[in-house]
Structure 1
Amino acid sequence: MNSPVVDQVIAAPTYLADVRFFFRPEDVEHMAAKGIELGTYDGVRNNALSIHAQTAPPNANMPPDAEGKWTAERSRTFRNWIVTGFPLGTATAVEPAPNGQPPTRLRKDVTTLSDTEFDLLTAAFTGLMARSPEAPDGYFALAGHHWLPKRWCLHREDRFNPWHRQYLLEFEDALRSVPGCEEVTLPYWDITTDLPDRLQHPPFDKYVLPADPGATATPHPVTGFFPYTTQRFPVSEIAQNVTDFVLADLATSLTQSLWGEYNVNGYQDFSIQAHDGGHGSIGPTMGNQTVASYDPVFWFFHCNLDRLWLSWQTRVGATTLTGFRTTLGQNTDWLTAPFNALTPFSATADQTIESEVSYDRLELISPGEGVLENLTGSIDADRTFAFRSTDPVSVRVKGIDRLNIPGSFVVSLLADGEPLAKRFFFQPDDPRSCTNCVEHGIVNIDFRMTQDQLLDRTLSVRIDVPGHSDAIGTAFPLARAGNPTINARLLVQDA
């Protein structure tokens, strides 16, 4: 973690802006062996009095080495944090650490590749697609990891981003195994721009499945996807869909101080919603989890999502495992065995936090541009809080039973009968056949709205299933979706 710590007394410190940087990786590791957690807010808060007593100069017991000893100013700042009620606060943008070594893999915007680089990428994809469907390092088999036929992907849980980061590495390694393509890296498509022309021509425009991906699916075969050619919407329709489904959640995700929990708050919640919206924006194939990964655009889309995750990590000082843990709450189990597995890959979730990949451009802000946000619907009663007129309202469609819904779906928030905002939920056609779906069968959809958008208007909710139609069209009865409720609340923050 690139520490911004300056040893001067801070009168009103917060954990995210100040205190978390007081603990070095070796401090966290040393005390973890003694059963003391220094790597998270909850751990530091629960042990704060002991930490203060053990680190206070001039006769501090901890840290044990002279170099790590706290100054009087740091100790006073920590004491102020205790006295003011352990405020969590918000993260301040962190200056990126200078690169000591050239990046192992530098990924670029696909539109900025030189002709030579793009020709190499084309050769790698062509070579991968030409391999036998049975070849484990061929395009068909690798795409099959995501859903049909293997059903390995981890959606809507803490390992979601780590799983996809490792998936991209495995796919990139396969591209590099094509003779002559040993140095190729996977580019990204910045989804805030139109679908690049380069991705609208062979071999990137479509993929004709050479075998039936559902024939060997477990627990039972799946029909309807062979013969099959991937499909997309027109470029102008994709652009409009991205505006409707993606941009707001992308922007919100990058302003979060915390990693958070899916369906609660934080980077992860809005990142996953933006991911789902992107899938639904691009076309019938990308919008269907059953076969989405067979569309070549899948890889460029997910490469961009990984770039944005690394951008967020860099913003909040979470590019190391120690730094990343400071953005978590109590749920850290998924970073340790056996809960950190990323089947079918040998790498584990914790090993993906420190990425060997860099990008030609990250979405960063300077420390001078201010703090990030940590808005929430509830706060501990022993902390001070504030409502501000500019703070958004969270409108949550809560308790959707997605297992009854046959495929990906759209949740629309209507104001006076007209669409005010829409969110896309990405899932397979038969979610009950998915173990991960069943474990996370009840879901919420979040909308961040300004107060002016909602006041004095009649609001309602609608669920639609694209491609599904019965006597009432694509609309899905809310009663069959678990009778979800509406939870609307003005968000609060530490005062």
Structure 2
Amino acid sequence: MTTPPTTHDPDPVVAAPTYLADIRTYFRPEDVAHMATKGIDLGTYDGVEQNALTIFAHTSPPNAGMPPDAAGKWSANRSQTFKNWIVNGFPLGTSTPVTTPPGGAAPARLRKDVTTLTDAEFALLTTAFNGVMARSSTAPDGYFTLAGQHGLPKAWCLHHEPRFNPWHRVYLREFEDALRSVPGCQDVTLPYWDISTPLPDRLQHPPFDQYVLPADPGATATPPVTGLFPYTTERYPVAEITANVTSLGVLDDIATSMAQSLWGASDINGYQKFSIQAHDSGHGSVGPTMGVQEVSAFDPVFWFFHCNIDRLWLRWQHLNTATTLAGFRTTLAGGDDSWLTDPSFNPLPPFTATADQTIATDIGYDRLDLPPAPAETVMENLSGSIDAARTFSFRSADPVSVRVKGINRLNIPGSFVVSLLADGEPVAKRFFFQPNNPRQCETCAKHATVNIDFRLTREQVLDRTLSVRIDVPGHSEKVGTAFPLAQAGHPTVNARLLAGEA
């Protein structure tokens, strides 16, 4: 007698399903698009939760009306899993990370670690940078003009708001296009500097070590800005940069961002919150120029640094199955997506691309550092508060979240450092990146009150007196660095245990 082969059920019943691990995968892009025309959102947690009973009624076999095509019909097992999700209270859960490198067609442009470029590749990159830098200060594809889009004189950049990552993704491509426009450099791609490693020697020699501004970037700004011409970019010594990356928690915030199941909001939670904190502290780690928004993009290291920020975002997208617009929207649970889909809010000036067009990209990276096994990547969706209708738990291994809340950034003249002190000794600090005159920045004015989040072990804060200090490094020669907390909006210190769904 022959024993029939064991078959694997491709659609098993899940007893305790969650939205991020299971339910979101049930809705195909065509399902989402079809129902959107009827005013039902199947692409986000909020939309599915609000319409769960209707969805269950219309998709349950054997007489399901939706999806309309035979290929999309739900199995009895899938329908039971969805019912279990409803009965269990619509748990959000956490992502199941994708731990294998993405397949499919090769990217149109492959960006590499600058330290791995061959001598010929690096020579071509050098030629491209020299060519762009040699162009007139008024040339639209010249270095001075391109760098001036981020800071002075144009100050287009969108910081500390949802379009931050999309804006920079388009900006990097525009700069890369300019490099490719140099004769003979049509295949050049912009490399990245992995900030977890020391600043490479290759970036410490011309034309990558500094840039002498050929014109006054503040002369044509509105209103005009003085004091930044003549100007040559500056950096800290390599050992100091490395020490700053550690003391400002850059790598800690990168690691935290990579563990997030949700995109979140720029000043609340999720990937975006910690990605932006890592970005800001990375700027502050590198040097006086990178720490000043008005001139940071003139330092050639800016492009390699931001290329790495984009690489990390793409890595997070792959981990969370968020490399398409439909997949990305599933990570916006509880968040407003108007910045992504509403034509009134998704532009990325001065570029023609919109935020939704940046999610799927034909840019690739030679290394996304995807973990080799699921057990090595534990995604989270921790928060300081949770809906009382849900079950939740506190794990002893989870960190304490200490938030310096309610900082009025508009009163602080320039980028600043927030230090958390325990019994008078610093235990953590972060750099906040902003213009020298934030009151004249439209984006700053819209997001005037900001929070800084620290994740600490309980031993670092228990039975200790916590306090906060704000320093403004750029003012050390005039009035010292300390900034009065009373003038920064009287921020508060909130310490919270982070809760997760049980």
Q: TM-score, normalised by structure 2?
A: 0.96
Residue in 1 aligned with 2:46? 42
The answer to whether structure 1 residue 289 and structure 2 residue 284 are counterparts is: no
Q: Residues 54-101 of structure 1: CA distance to partner in whole angstroms, max 9, x if unpaired?
A: 001111111111001111111100000000000001111124575322
Residue in 2 aligned with 1:251? 255
**What is the Cα deviation at residue 457 of structure 1?**
1.3
C-alpha distance in structure 2 between counterparts of 1:389 and 1:43, whole Å: 33
Gaps of 5+ in 2: 1-8
Residue in 2 aligned with 1:380? 387
Q: How does 1:318-467 map to 2 (within 5 A)?
A: 318-328=322-332, 329-336=334-341, 337-365=343-371, 366-467=373-474
**What is the Cα deviation at residue 370 of structure 1?**
4.9
Which of 480, 483, 487 aligns to 1:480? It is: 487
1:97 to 1:19, Cα distance in 2 relative to 1, 3 A: farther
The answer to whether structure 1 residue 94 and structure 2 residue 98 are counterparts is: yes
Give the letter for the 1:412 counterpart.
S
Residue in 1 aligned with 2:303? 299
Q: Residues 382-435 of structure 1: CA distance to partner in whole angstroms, max 9, x if unpaired?
A: 110001111111111111011111100000001111110000000011111101
Secondary structure (helix, strand or coil) at the match of 1:63 reads coil
Give the letter for the 1:487 counterpart.
N
Q: Residues 332-384 of structure 1: CA distance to partner in whole angstroms, max 9, x if unpaired?
A: 11112121100000111000000110000003223343540110011111110
Q: Residues 411-466 of structure 1: CA distance to partner in whole angstroms, max 9, x if unpaired?
A: 00011111100000000111111011111111011101111111111211100000
C-alpha distance in structure 1 between counterparts of 2:480 and 2:188, whole Å: 46
Q: Residues 155-185 of structure 1: CA distance to partner in whole angstroms, max 9, x if unpaired?
A: 0111000000000000000000000000000
The answer to whether structure 1 residue 16 and structure 2 residue 20 are counterparts is: yes
1:48 to 1:371, Cα distance in 2 relative to 1, 3 A: farther
Secondary structure (helix, strand or coil) at the match of 1:346 reads coil
C-alpha distance in structure 1 between counterparts of 2:18 and 2:187, whole Å: 44
Residue in 1 aligned with 2:66? 62
Secondary structure (helix, strand or coil) at the match of 2:314 reads helix
- C-alpha contact 2:406 2:492 (8 A) present in aligned 1: yes
Q: Residues 289-321 of structure 1: CA distance to partner in whole angstroms, max 9, x if unpaired?
A: 010000000000000000000000000100010
Secondary structure (helix, strand or coil) at the match of 1:347 reads coil
Residue in 1 aligned with 2:3? none
Secondary structure (helix, strand or coil) at the match of 1:345 reads coil
Residue in 2 aligned with 1:236? 239
**What is the Cα deviation at residue 147 of structure 1?**
1.3
- C-alpha contact 1:317 1:324 (8 A) present in aligned 2: yes
C-alpha distance in structure 2 between counterparts of 1:458 and 1:97, whole Å: 46
**What is the Cα deviation at residue 470 of structure 1?**
7.6
RMSD over aligned Cα atoms: 1.2
Residue in 2 aligned with 1:222? 225
C-alpha distance in structure 2 between counterparts of 1:368 and 1:470, whole Å: 51
Secondary structure (helix, strand or coil) at the match of 2:473 reads coil
1:275 to 1:34, Cα distance in 2 relative to 1, 3 A: same
- C-alpha contact 2:152 2:221 (8 A) present in aligned 1: yes
Residue in 1 aligned with 2:4? none
Residue in 1 aligned with 2:116? 112
Residue in 1 aligned with 2:144? 140
Percent identity reads 73
Secondary structure (helix, strand or coil) at the match of 1:90 reads coil
Aligned positions, number: 490
Gaps of 5+ in 1: none
- C-alpha contact 1:308 1:363 (8 A) present in aligned 2: no
User: Which stretches of structure 1, 4 residues or more, deviate above 4 A after TM superposition?
Assistant: 95-98
Q: How does 1:118-133 map to 2 (within 5 A)?
A: 118-133=122-137
- C-alpha contact 2:101 2:370 (8 A) present in aligned 1: no
Q: Residues 246-291 of structure 1: CA distance to partner in whole angstroms, max 9, x if unpaired?
A: 1111110000000000111000000000000000000000000010
1:298 to 1:274, Cα distance in 2 relative to 1, 3 A: same
**What is the Cα deviation at residue 52 of structure 1?**
0.5
Give the letter for the 2:329 counterpart.
R
Q: Residues 101-158 of structure 1: CA distance to partner in whole angstroms, max 9, x if unpaired?
A: 2210000000000000000000000000000000000000000010100010000111
